[in-house]
Structures are given as C-alpha cells and as structure tokens.
Amino acid sequence: MSGEFSQRVMDWRSSGQMTPLAGRRIFVRRQDGTGPLLLFLHGFPSSSYDWKRVLQLLPGSAAVAFDFLGFGMSEKPHDVVYSLFDQADLTEQLVGSEARRVVIVAHDMGTSVAPSCWHAIWNVASVSRSTVCCFSTAG
C-alpha cells in the first residue's frame, strides 16, 4: 500500500492511528497539548490531511483531526449509505468522553456535521465543557 501514497501522506498516516468506532476503522490523528480540545472536521472530498499545516502552527494545543468514514485513510465500506448524520454520530463517539472544553473547527462538509455534534456535546456538557464552533466554507 505504501507505493500508492507520497512520502508526505505516509508521514501523516504514521502520525495517527486506526481507531475502532461504531464497528468501523477510523483514522485519527491526536495531538497532545493543553487548553480546550480543538476538533478539526474536514470537507468534501478531502481528509484530515487538510489540517496538517494548521496543526503544525498549534504545537502546544490539544487537537484531534480524523477522517470521516469513507474518506482519507478511514475504512471505505461499500455496504454503507453515507450520511452527514452518521458522520456526526461518529464524531460524537470520538469526543464524547472528553472532559475538557471542545472547540469545533470545521470546513465545507464538516460545517454540516458540526451543528449536530455541537448540539449533542452541549446537551451532555457542563458549563466548563461548553463548545465553540468555528466554520469555514471557503479556502
């Protein structure tokens, strides 16, 4: 499989891990750090790799960038009807146990997933775990 990807993509791949979520294998790239958890949601038709340079600019920040089901390095099952609601459920499972404040940073398709995540996280969150959303629909 390594012959299919550039060295930059292989480096990105090695900086993350395949994580089982909802019975599927999802590529997740976590960055240890302080402050609120920055949750990066990519656009269509892209992947978490879009956030690589942004994460490099935030070396001390706690962050998660992952590939939605069917995108990037995540599993691409053929027996699934892909929906934004399912992507939101997946996102909620990924950060549902976070005890810290979550800041959602979303681009393109991620901006459609984010409101569902924000709502779910907000409903189970305490005041200290409130969620902030930042949306971007253009480069």
**Can you tell me the mean pLDDT for 40-69?**
95
CATH class of 2-136: alpha beta
For the ranges 28-32, 55-59, 98-102, the lowest mean pLDDT is seen at: 98-102
pTM of the model: 0.87
Q: Is the pLDDT of residue 73 over 50?
A: yes
Model confidence at 1, in pLDDT bands (50, 70, 90)?
A: very low
DSSP string, 69-103: TTSTTS---SS----HHHHHHHHHHHHTT--S-EE
Model confidence at 132, in pLDDT bands (50, 70, 90)?
A: low
Q: Residue 97: what pLDDT?
A: 67
- Burial code of 89-126, b = ≥16 C-beta within 10 A, e = fewer? bbbbebbeebeebbbbbbbbbbbbbbebbbebbeeeee
| Residue bearing tokens 């992952």 | 66
